[in-house]
Amino acid sequence: MACIILYGIKNCDNIKKSRKWLDKNSVEYSFHDFYINGINKPIIIEFLDNIEVSLLINRRSTSWRKLSEEQKIISSRPKIVELLLKNPTLIKRPIVKTKSGYIVGFDQKEFNALK
C-alpha cells in the first residue's frame, strides 16, 4: 500500500490537478474517493485531530453557501463530525496524508516535498 493517501472526489479540479502532479512525478499514492469509498466518523476524527477546522472546512464552497445559518454555527466537535458526515463536499480538497502529516489543498511547494 502507498504511504500517501489522497482524499477527495474524483471530479474535483484540485483532485485532478493533484493526481496529475503525483502521476507525473512518479509519487506512489492511493486515492480515497469520498463518494466511492465513503467517509466515516473515524476518518473525520482523524482529520480533526490533525488539521485545524479553519483549514478543513471549505467556507467558499457551494455546499457551504447552501447551509442554513444555524448549520454554519460550528459550536462543538460532535456537530462538526455530524456536519461533515452529512456533507463531505464541505471538506477542502485535496487532503493528502503523508508519513509526516497532512497537506490541505493543492500547493505546488508542499507537493514538491513529496518527491
- Concerning whether 3 is annotated as a catalytic residue, the answer is no
Write the CATH number for 61: 3.40.30.10
What are the pLDDT digits (tens) for 100-112?
Answer: 999 999 999 999 9
**pLDDT for res 21:** 97
**pLDDT for res 37:** 96
Active-site pick, 9, 12, 45, 114: 12
By residue range, what is the domain housing residue 108?
5-112
**Domains: count for the chain:** 1
Give the pLDDT mean for 60-85.
92
pTM of the complete model: 0.92
Q: Which amino acid is at 53?
A: V
**pLDDT for res 4:** 95
- The alpha-helical segments, DSSP class H, found in 4-76 are 13-24, 41-50, 53-56, 62-66, 69-72
Give residue 9's pLDDT band: very low, low, confident or very high (50, 70, 90).
very high
Phi, psi (deg, nearest 5) at residue 32: -110, 105
Residue 50 near residue 102, CB atoms below 8 Å? yes
